[in-house]
Structure 1
Amino acid sequence: MKYQMYYEMMEQPEALRKTFASELDNMNNISKLAESVDTIYLIGCGSSISTCYSIRDALASVSHLRIEVFTGYEFVYNKKLNKGENSLFISTSQSGETADTLAALRKANEFNIDTVSISNEPDSSMVKEAKYPVITLGNTETAILGTKTYITQLACLYQILFAASGYEKANEILEELSTIPNLIEELLETTEEDNKRLAKEFKDEEIFYCLGSGVNFGLAYKLAMTMLMEGAIKHACPLYSAEFRHGLIERAEEGVPLIFLDADLESDKLTKIAINFSKNKLEAKTIIYSLKDYANINPLLAPFILVIPLEWFVYYLSHFNGEDPGSTRHIGKVRYE
């Protein structure tokens, strides 16, 4: 049986190609704006905020751009904004109607801040109300994991902000970014069976700890918060790899599943120490996704690669537990008053 998530996963490469064919000039113009501002605000919720974390942490290691990440209502309640301040607001949302993100966009507009919205829905409120809309061409997604949305949003953020970063190797990053659709096509074919077997092995586990460093923390956040908890209906907790040595080291023990994302970044020195301790001292159930096993690409692009085997893992983890990986229990039904 194939669930809707399967078909949406398979459409990721083409969604990326169409988005860049349509929006590249638009994104280049936004990059010019980003070059001259004092602060860039990145706003999202759920899977969308995970893309904000990844680009923030990617650029923190190579650029002087000042980037602040907020969930929607955290931005709304931010008292540090000034009317007409020299900043750029970028919101990310699949539907373009996420209530808290939309409220943040409206606040930015009230403060006369230049606003950008990256959304998959061309007729959405965010696209209509942002000064500079960017439309990702993944068509409406019904599976909750939003595979096409994640990959296209992340690519748009990389394109816009690396082009504005002043990083001496930005052009190399962007050239490699253009190869991502082909790499994803290959990984969709080559990583399914291994992760199907892994999911069957771990189907009865009830909690997973997800650890990453640098750009991979954002992916660890997505893995825990929207892939495992929303898609596979498993408890999960995301952590920076360096936090392993604090609370988690007391709770991780034999039989506890820990998922590590390793890209051989400078900060992954601590990831490797944590992996070694987890495997050899604690004898925890240690699952390692290493970039080097999947692609020879700049480690700052690791989330684009590692998300594909993780999607297969969550897809089959859900399946082996009798769940549809695209359905939800409460999301879309619950409204906060």
Structure 2
Amino acid sequence: MNPKEIIKEILEKQQIDHVVFVGCGASKADLYPAKFFLDQNAKKISVSHYTANEFNYATPALIGENTVVISASLGGTTPETVEANAVAKAKGAQVISLTRSVDSPLTKDADYVIYHRFAEDYSAKLEKTGYALLLAVELLHQIEGYAHYEDMLDGFDKIYPLAQQAALSAKKDAKQFAEAFKDEPVIYVMSSGATHEVAYSTSICLMMEMQWINSGTFHTGEFFHGPFEIVDKDVPFVLLMNEGSTRSIDARALTFLNRFDAKTAIVDALDYGLSSVVKSTVIDYFNPMVITAVFRVYAEELAEARQHPLTKRRYMWKLEY
């Protein structure tokens, strides 16, 4: 079943008042654009977003038969997220899970499963984010109605080829980034809007997990409320810049970074033609997809320059924890 049919079937059975997104690490971050979309547009539906173990140990009281829980795990084996499905199911929620792995443990307590691609190309890596966002769009449209529904569907038709093209075109800039940043002991990452948790996953996953580089992340709107005190000449930052409503927040941070000659790498959705294919009414929600695709190339080039494969781990999957 596709997202439209899944939501239609759920709503034929019961009223939905709450939508909860649950995951860990990058999968949690991949759900954030959908959460952001509902925050911006829903007038009746409540929405929340949890790391799975907090959901398990501090389960929200609203979880019940009027709740849809949307969970994600790339391999479908993340123990905390598998448990979250069981917790949600036991309380009567409708559970929709996103994974690439058929019949994985995540699917056991899911009412509906959407399988996505990942390794095939750069655009495939966006499908988890895309399906979560499309589920959010369908929930809003079928429950409350959404004036820009057709604009969103048009955006989905165009974003995957655009993101793939953007990633492939970023190779030269990515190599320059890798050469410039390969020896940095710490790299700070920031963004805003729907891309906020792309910055978060870039920091905790691509930098800390996959490259063992110390990293911190924060919303560009919070930059001037603490983090900007560490700005100085050659302090390394990655700024993920959005098109749309939060661009001025990102631009304000960039102006300050440039003022003090910080070492700043910018990945800007504007540079990759997002506004040429996605309508201004919905552009905010597609920034994360093009920026994710492009920065994956940056991460690959960084790994190559540092001779540290993205797959290398010390603890993950190797120890009991």
Q: SS of the residue aligned with 2:41? A: coil
TM-superposed CA distance for 1:115, in Å, is: 0.9
Cα gap change, 1:132/1:322 in structure 2, threshold over 3 Å: closer, same or farther? same
Greater mean deviation of Cα atoms: 175-184 or 314-323: 175-184
1:214-250 residue CA offsets vs partner (Å, 9 max, x unmatched): 1010211111111112222211112111110022111
User: Which residue number corresponds to residue 205 of structure 1?
Assistant: 184
Q: Distance in 2 between matches of 1:150 and 1:58?
A: 20
1:238 aligns with 2:217: yes
Cα gap change, 1:39/1:202 in structure 2, threshold over 3 Å: closer, same or farther? same
1:306 aligns with 2:291: yes
1:246-286 residue CA offsets vs partner (Å, 9 max, x unmatched): 22111121111111111133233222111101111x22112
The within-5 A match list for 1:66-145 is 66-81=46-61, 84-138=64-118
Do 2:17 and 2:67's aligned partners in 1 also have CA atoms closer than 8 Å?
Answer: yes
State the AA in 2 paired with 1:116. Answer: I
State the AA in 1 paired with 2:303. Answer: S
1:136-191 residue CA offsets vs partner (Å, 9 max, x unmatched): 1447x9xxxx9677511101011111122233112211211122232133123211
Greater mean deviation of Cα atoms: 81-90 or 303-312: 81-90
TM-superposed CA distance for 1:326, in Å, is: 2.2
User: Which residue number corresponds to residue 178 of structure 1?
Assistant: 157
User: Which residue number corresponds to residue 334 of structure 1?
Assistant: 319
Q: SS of the residue aligned with 1:328? A: coil
1:277-305 residue CA offsets vs partner (Å, 9 max, x unmatched): 1111x221122221110022323201111
1:43 aligns with 2:22: yes
Q: Distance in 1 between matches of 2:123 and 2:267?
A: 21
User: Which residue number corresponds to residue 191 of structure 1?
Assistant: 170
Where does the alignment leave 5 or more consecutive residues of structure 2 unmatched?
none
User: Which residue number corresponds to residue 286 of structure 1?
Assistant: 264
Deviating above 4 A after TM superposition, structure 1's stretches of 4 or more consecutive aligned residues are 146-150
Q: Distance in 1 between matches of 2:268 and 2:7?
A: 31
1:8-44 residue CA offsets vs partner (Å, 9 max, x unmatched): xxxxxxxxxxxxxxxxx43112333379411111001
User: Which residue number corresponds to residue 306 of structure 2?
Assistant: 321
Q: Distance in 1 between matches of 2:299 and 2:20?
A: 31
Q: Distance in 1 between matches of 2:231 and 2:319?
A: 33
Q: Distance in 1 between matches of 2:236 and 2:63?
A: 48
1:151 aligns with 2:129: no
Where does the alignment leave 5 or more consecutive residues of structure 1 unmatched?
1-24
State the AA in 2 paired with 1:232. Answer: Q
User: Which residue number corresponds to residue 8 of structure 1?
Assistant: none
State the AA in 1 paired with 2:194. Answer: V
Do 2:232 and 2:261's aligned partners in 1 also have CA atoms closer than 8 Å?
Answer: yes
User: Which residue number corresponds to residue 3 of structure 2?
Assistant: 27
Q: Distance in 2 between matches of 1:310 and 1:137?
A: 18
Cα gap change, 1:248/1:85 in structure 2, threshold over 3 Å: closer, same or farther? same
